[in-house]
Chain A
Amino acid sequence: MTATLVPRGRLRPVSVGGARLARPVAWALVGLLGLVTLVAVFARQLAPYNPIQPVGPLNLPPLSPGHLLGTDGIGRDLLSRTLIGIQVSWLSALVVVASGLLIGGTIGLIAGATGGWVDAILLMRVTDLFLALPGALVAIAIVAALGSGLVNTLIGVAIVWWPYYARIVRGEVKALAARPHVEAARLAEVSRPRILTRHLLPGVVPTAVVSASLDVGNVVLLLAALSFLGLGQKAPAPELGADTARSLSQLLSQWWVPGIPGIAVLMLSLIANLGGDAIRNLMPVRR
């Protein structure tokens, strides 16, 4: 019997956001995610001015000398404020998604792998209940109760967010656990911990990672909306949603003051979505 192994499929183009892109371009989008994270981490170093001090003439339009994005009604540099705002928004979103994945993922893994009443009643009923409540509204209520501030907002959103991941991970684990290869492993006398780590977990990770990466965009938008409503940090701390809300009156005259923070949110959301899509389509299909 000859050992002809079936050759792997060739490098096919990958579809991202509805467009077909060459694989290197898709990887570049994923790299963009990393770039934004770097910018977010080093925002303070990258910002040319102190974001909360007035440093220039009032209401300078973008592309003015010394102020790339202009200044606001108090004379603060918009580029600096936007950079810090990006730091807050992006890193907050990453924290929320990571905590949701960790908490929800662990709960989902336990629920899916244990089965029985632990899964059905204790874990999944609770998760379903959380999921049936309107997340954003409950988040608003939680933050309003705890008092506004960045940490409270993150807590409020994280509380509402983990059930989504628990449901996804549990679904994946249950589907995998029912597969013959897990039964075969049991027959092969593989120990339970090893089945969990080698035969189940690697199958769950791709789906979890993809869901998380697609989710970052949603969290960015939610945090921006909460910030817009005044649930984030207090003034004069730079926050993308709050800055827009506070300068709404300048909408028709100095459009860039409320507009630029909004555009920054759009950029973050767009990069997160495209990057997430690229990750999902680059993942090898493991069926």
Chain B
Amino acid sequence: MLRFVTRRLSAAVLILLVLSLVIFVLQAVSPGDPARAYVGANASPEMVAAERQRLGLNDPFFTRYFRFLGGLFTGDLGRSLRTRQPVISDIATYLPSTVELVVTAFLIALLLAALYAMSGALRWPGASIGRGVLLLLATAPPFLLAIVGIIVFFGQLGWLPARGVGDFQDPGPFGMQALDTLLHGQTDAFVNALQHLVLPAVVLSVAPAVAIGRVFRSSLQAVLGVDYVRTARSKGLTEQQVVAHHVVRNAMGPALSMGGLQLGYMFAGVVVVEQVFSWPGIGNYLAASIPVADFPAIAGVTLVLGAIYVLSNLVVDLLQALADPRVAAE
């Protein structure tokens, strides 16, 4: 098991290194001068050149790369061309809201996926309509779902708000509206935060829910037909015992993999959702950086989200090894 963990960990480190190299190469290729972030748009060419020299932007490729890597370790991701702030502090400001949104959406997705899979594999009556609706929703582009959600729930019904995290002040310390208000016991603010959270989280959760649900359902069906389940039934166990002890653990593997994958995708998909809902998260920050070609910001966000993606895959691998001892023996 220990060998397994070390191997996966070192693989993750390697992947992150490659990601940093890719981002660095792209940065070198991109238009736009990072020096401008430090001196401003109105600086004279001489000032820009001097700033370039100061930042070491004229040094050879690998010197710059290692400086870049070193910067990553100290948290220096450069300065945003748009906000003129260090990218790392921008990210620190906006990341918590995104995490709140993604985690909520992921939990909803898991719930929906479990319902989708169990209702299908165990043949719950009437559930096929629900699954069909979910399938249809998952085929739609998230921005369309967001638009429809806003038109219906805000425009027509007036049940839910259309933008932002909440109408109250965030008391801190996490930068996550719902969590913070909950911790401080501010019920009104908490409910208000939840209302703001519902629509974007549901919109974000639909496609991953179906992806995970399909995989889980198909592996549930496969396991239900397998020999050792027949053995379990022949012992006279109740169907619940059979499912709980023999089926779920063995069917979870592919679903866990897909879950990890989808969690990673969600951190990318959140960009569009945040834009439509004006959610003050890192996705919105990225979306704002694109039209102005603010590459330091784009690079920084990609690195951070990329690291989160790689780490979540690592956690999924470890969970899989815990669930199925054969995996760890590889």
Touching chains A and B, CB distance < 8 Å = yes
| Known A225-B142, A258-B147: A134·B29 in contact at CB below 8 Å | no
Decide: A145 and B144 in contact? CB cutoff 8 A: no
- Most A CB contacts (10 A, CB to CB) among B143, B287, B290, B306 go to B143
Interface residues in A123-137 by Cβ distance below 8 A to B read 129, 132-137
CB-CB under 8 A from B148, the residues of chain A are 259
| Known A229-B271, A259-B144: A144·B293 in contact at CB below 8 Å | yes
CB distance from B140 to the nearest CB of A (A): 4
A12 to B11, CA, bound (A): 46
Decide: A134 and B140 in contact? CB cutoff 8 A: no
Whose C-beta in chain A lies nearest to the C-beta of B30?
A: A145
A-B CB contacts (within 8 Å), total count: 141
Residue in contact with A134 in the complex, picked from B132, B135, B299, B305, CB distance below 8 Å: B305
Decide: A270 and B269 in contact? CB cutoff 8 A: no
Interface residues in A226-260 by Cβ distance below 8 A to B read 228-231, 241, 244-245, 248, 251-252, 255, 258-259
Residue in contact with B22 in the complex, picked from A133, A225, A229, A252, CB distance below 8 Å: A133
- Interface size for B (C-beta < 8 A) is 54
CB-CB under 8 A from B128, the residues of chain A are 18
B291 within 8 A of A: yes
Residue in contact with B15 in the complex, picked from A132, A136, A145, CB distance below 8 Å: A132
CB-CB under 8 A from A138, the residues of chain B are 19, 22, 302, 306
A269 within 8 A of B: yes
Decide: B269 and A140 in contact? CB cutoff 8 A: no
Decide: B306 and A265 in contact? CB cutoff 8 A: no
Whose C-beta in chain A lies nearest to the C-beta of B313?
A: A132
Decide: B141 and A241 in contact? CB cutoff 8 A: yes
CB distance from B198 to the nearest CB of A (A): 18
- Most B CB contacts (10 A, CB to CB) among A18, A19, A129, A137 go to A137
Decide: A17 and B135 in contact? CB cutoff 8 A: yes
Residues in B lying within 8 Å of A, measured CB to CB: 11, 14-15, 18-19, 22-23, 26-27, 29-31, 120, 128, 131-132, 135-136, 139-144, 147-148, 150-151, 154-155, 264-265, 267-269, 271-272, 275-276, 286-287, 290-291, 293, 295, 298-299, 301-302, 305-306, 309-310, 313
* 9 closest residue pairs by CB, A with B: A262-B144, A136-B268, A145-B30, A145-B26, A134-B309, A266-B140, A132-B15, A265-B141, A141-B302
Apart from the given pairs A144-B290, A230-B290, A270-B139, 14 other A-B contacts in the complex at a CB distance below 8 Å: A18-B120, A18-B132, A133-B15, A133-B18, A134-B302, A137-B267, A140-B268, A140-B286, A140-B298, A229-B287, A230-B291, A244-B144, A252-B155, A255-B147
20 pairs across A/B with beta carbons < 8 Å? Answer: A133-B19, A133-B306, A133-B309, A134-B268, A137-B306, A138-B22, A140-B298, A141-B302, A146-B30, A225-B271, A228-B272, A229-B290, A230-B291, A248-B147, A251-B151, A252-B151, A258-B147, A262-B144, A266-B144, A269-B140
